Each structure stands twice: as structure tokens, then as C-alpha cells.
Amino acid sequence: MGDAKVSENGTEKVSESKVLTENPKYYKTYPEREVHEKFFRDVFEIILKDALFEGIQRDQPVVRFEQPHDLWKILNLKLGRDPAHNHDVLLDLVKDVIKYSVKTGHPYFINQLYSGIDPYGVAAEWVASALNGSVYTYEVAPVFTLMELEVFERMRNIIGFPKNQGDGLFCPGGSLANGYAISVARYKKRPEIKELGLSGVKPMIMFVSEDAHYSFKKLASFQGIGLKNVVGVKVDSRGKMNVTELDKEIQSSIDKGFDPFLVSATAGTTVLGAFDPIDEIAEVCKKYGLWLHVDGAWGGGALMSDTYRDLMKGIEKADSVTWNPHKLLCAPQQCSTFLLKDGTIATDAHATRATYLFQQDKFYEAQFDTGDKHIQCGRRADVLKFWLMWKAKGKDGFEAHIDHIFGLAKFCVEELRRRGPSFKLLLEDPECTNVVFWYIPPSLQDMNQSSPEFWDRIHKIAPKIKERMMRQGTMMCTYQPLRQYQNFFRVVIQSSEVNEKDVTYFLDEIEKCGKDL
């Protein structure tokens, strides 16, 4: 930061370097550029080695599991009046944070609807974090604003919305994107609610599949709709919404004096990966004049593939779509979008026109200040991750990825069938990359599978296997009950790193952890 200089009156100015070096208190707060740069480079090398490359090799654990109170002590998480730590100590802390965190980029992490590490997405995340931008006005985020407009237009075109119209928002997760659907659909039906609130309005009713994501109930409660006014429509044996039941539920709500306003179809349910019949649901929405939303947070990525996009036949008839690139397309968390056919309704429903941000007399076109249609103010530049991935791979690259993971799901189903009595598929022909099944240990294979006792015992198998694989760090695979079904495993395939050998490993590991139960 420079040597000592002589002032105009001849006295020596003390250099900033000397102050920082001789005063440890200030040194901790304002490190010199060289010291700071070295710290960044050291952290970068740790990330590359422990989090991105060596740390996610197949011979490394997915997680080093510790119970909460033990981990608290190991990491010394407590904050207080401790003295500031030097960089060597901080680097050790960074190593420990990575060491004890779940490696979601590991090929054996198949626990959630996100996994894998996309190098272009990660690089973009670093750039966005370094710039620390916030996307609400063009003046503070010119590049990211234009990127969003470009990405939204391309995504709407892929959906099949009319060209050169519509809108889009990046959201902090699919739950908030679905919340936006509730908000704009309600505004479309009852615009006066924006000014007057819900007072005096007859109960508004919305309809989702009984297997829909829980965010609809949560956000309906948050927005004053009420949990009881979210109707879960029955599904068929494959988990797809029953359209006849939907029609009956809507008519019943009208007969009772309620005010239906929204139907959400799901494109890829969380557990079974089912795709609701959008074409048929759209006809029901047209009949009753209801907003049609499609929650494609999970399955939306299939739109990138000419082979699998027909799973969402009719999606172009939707009024809005949730689509999370951080799921099937493996963009880094978080990367979620809410896409609209109507180009103005998000602004109409949410804008409050704060004059300290959204002045109308700026020297550029005010339409490029996009923040007022969001419920957030400060907002991350999530677009950069998806935009850079798209530039690197093109749509053909995304299509190849989708075709690969769907093909692996089919291979997994065939492998389960091949293994005979040890595994029982819940769905014989899953639509998405969710493969759901029970593991039946040798001790239970001769039991009557129609007996309650058999299923009571099976219900306890998956949690025990999950515990064993977590403690050993060999794999992470989730389980759950659903409706009348007892606990079953859900293998979710979405990373391009996963191959057929890995799928075989998944099933071998489940057998190894459960064969003596």
C-alpha cells in the first residue's frame, strides 16, 4: 500500500503498510492486498482440491457424518469475543467446513433433486459473488439485467409461449416461484385485493395434485388463502392428477359458494416423478376460466430434449411455469425461474414504485429496471450460472445430458428387475428419473407380501439402511412413505457424472447395508 511519503509541510507521512503491520488490531480488519490475495488463492486451491476434484472421487466418502452436538464441538462453531484468527487458522477452518459438509457433487449423492457439479455454473457463481451485484435496476446490474431478458425469452420459446411477449423472474427456489403463481393468479381473478386485502372477499380456492409440492400449501398460508382452501385432487396409480376428479372438485367448490382461481399441474412430482396431463387440465381451466400454472421445477429440464419434451404435452397452454435449472439441468443452487405468458401482470400485481429506486426520469429506458415486479429487493445474479452453462453447452449439450440420465433411469429399472426377490418396484415404468422401490432382505422374502406384518417390517428397513450408509459415508439415497405406501427408496438420477457402474453400485450398497436385517 505504498511507502512513507513527505507531506507538503515537510513532515513524514506514516505509510498505511506500516500502520497495518505494527497494529495487529487493524491488520486483522484491513489486510494488505498481497496478504488478502494470497488468502484468496489458498482458499481457491482448497476448494479445487477438497470440494471439486479429489474430494468427490468415488473412493472418498459422500459425507463424514457426526451427530449435531459432536459436530458443533469439532468445528468450534461458537462465536463470541474470541481474538481474531490469523489466516492459517482460517484456512484450517475452511478445510474442516468442506471436510464435514455433504459433497453434493459426488456421484454417490442421489439424495435430493439436485446433484452434480457443473464447472461452468460454479465458475459463474464465483464471478457473480465477486461482483456482489443485486439485480433490480439496470444502473447497478446492466449485464445481468440483459442476460435475464435473453434467458427468459429463450426459455419461453422452448415452452412454446407466443414469441416476443411474456415475462420471467428469477426466484430463490421453486417454492417462491410457485408462490408467485398464486399471487398473480389471485390478482388476475381479484385485482382489488392488492389495495383492499382479503377483507370481505369470499374464500378463494386453488387446486393441486395430492402429490404436488408442499410449497403450494405453505405459500397459500403465507398469502392468506388458507391451508383448507388448497384442494388436493386425487391421483391415479402412477401419481398423475385425475382430471375427472379435478372437474368435480371445481364444480363442488362453486356450488358451495367458493371462488376458484388457480389450478397447478405438476410436471415431475417430487417423489414419483409423475407428469400430470396438462392438455386435459388446460381444457378444464378453460371451461371454468381459471389460471393454469405448471410446476415444472423438477421435470422442466426435459423440455430441452426432443425425445422427452412430450411428457409436458400442452405446456404452451399454461399461463405460468416454474422451471428450476438447478434440478434436472444441474446448474448450481440456486437457479429457479418463474415464466409468464402475460408480459405485465407480475408488475401490475407486485409493483409499489419506490421512487428511490425506480425513478421514471432516468437517462435510460425505465422498462429495464425490472426489480419492482419481484417481492424481493436485493437479489442475486443467479442468471449468470445458467447463461454461461448455455453458452458452453448449447441446447444440444443440455439435450444430451437429459437423454443420458433418462437412459440411466431405464437401466436402473432393468437392473432392479434382474435382481429378483431382493427388490420390488413401486412403479414398473417411471416417467422421470425417479426410480422408486422397496428392498426386501432375505429374512422377509418368504413372507406373505399381502400381510400387514410384512409391510410393518418393510417400513423399518429403509431407515436402517439409510443410517448405515450415512454413518459409513458410502452413499446418500433418500426414502419416504407416500399415501398408502410404506417407506420405500427413491433413487434420483440427474448428474452427467453418473454411469451404469454407479447405478449397479447403488443397488449393491443397499443390499450390503440391508442383507442382515
Angle among Cα 247, 251, 255 to the nearest 5 degrees reads 170
Given a cut of 90, whether residue 494 has pLDDT beyond it is yes
pLDDT of residue 413: 97
7: confidence class by pLDDT, cuts 50, 70, 90 = very low
pLDDT of residue 31: 59
Which triple of cell numbers denotes residue 275?
407428469
- Cα distance between residue 438 and residue 502, in whole Å: 19
- Is domain 123-392 in CATH 3.40.640.10, yes or no? yes
Regarding pTM above 0.85, the answer is yes
Residue range 259-286: average pLDDT? 97
Residue range 210-215: average pLDDT? 96
Q: What is the pLDDT of residues 448-464, one digit of tens each?
A: 998 999 999 999 999 99
29: confidence class by pLDDT, cuts 50, 70, 90 = low
pLDDT of residue 35: 85
Given a cut of 90, whether residue 14 has pLDDT beyond it is no
Given a cut of 50, whether residue 156 has pLDDT beyond it is yes
pLDDT of residue 444: 94
pLDDT of residue 30: 55
Given a cut of 60, whether residue 26 has pLDDT beyond it is no
- Cα distance between residue 179 and residue 216, in whole Å: 7
pLDDT of residue 1: 38
85: confidence class by pLDDT, cuts 50, 70, 90 = confident
Q: What are phi and psi of 261, to 5 degrees?
A: -140, -20
Please give the share of the chain, as a percent, with pLDDT higher than 90: 82
Q: What is the pLDDT of residues 365-393, one digit of tens each?
A: 988 989 899 999 999 999 999 999 999 99
396: number of Cβ within 10 Å: 9
246: confidence class by pLDDT, cuts 50, 70, 90 = very high
Given a cut of 60, whether residue 515 has pLDDT beyond it is yes
CATH 3.90.1150.170 location in the chain: 16-103, 394-514
Q: What is the pLDDT of residues 327-366, one digit of tens each?
A: 999 999 999 999 999 999 999 999 999 888 888 988 999 8
Q: What is the 8-class DSSP label of residue 242?
A: -
25: confidence class by pLDDT, cuts 50, 70, 90 = low
Residue range 146-152: average pLDDT? 96
Residue found by looking up cell 447463461 in the block: 387
- The β-bridge partners of 235 are 241
pLDDT of residue 358: 85
388 touches 413 (CB < 8 A): no
Given a cut of 90, whether residue 28 has pLDDT beyond it is no
Given a cut of 60, whether residue 22 has pLDDT beyond it is no
409 touches 432 (CB < 8 A): yes
Given a cut of 70, whether residue 3 has pLDDT beyond it is no
Q: What is the pLDDT of residues 33-65, one digit of tens each?
A: 888 899 999 999 999 999 999 989 999 999 999
Q: What is the 8-class DSSP label of residue 445?
A: T
Q: What is the pLDDT of residues 495-504, one digit of tens each?
A: 999 999 999 9
pLDDT of residue 5: 46
334 touches 352 (CB < 8 A): no
CATH 3.40.640.10 location in the chain: 123-392
Given a cut of 80, whether residue 88 has pLDDT beyond it is yes
* CATH fold for domain 16-103: Aspartate Aminotransferase, domain 1 (3.90.1150)
Burial class of 403 by CB neighbour count within 10 A (0 to 12, 13 to 18, 19+): middle
H or E stretch including 10? none
Q: 331-351 burial, b for 16+ CB within 10 Å, e for fewer?
A: bbbbbbbbbbbbeebbbebbe
Q: Which CATH class is domain 394-514?
A: alpha beta
* Alpha carbon separation from 348 to 81, 195, 207, 409 (Å, rounded): 49, 12, 24, 43
202 touches 258 (CB < 8 A): yes
pLDDT of residue 80: 73
- Across the chain, what does the average pLDDT equal? 91
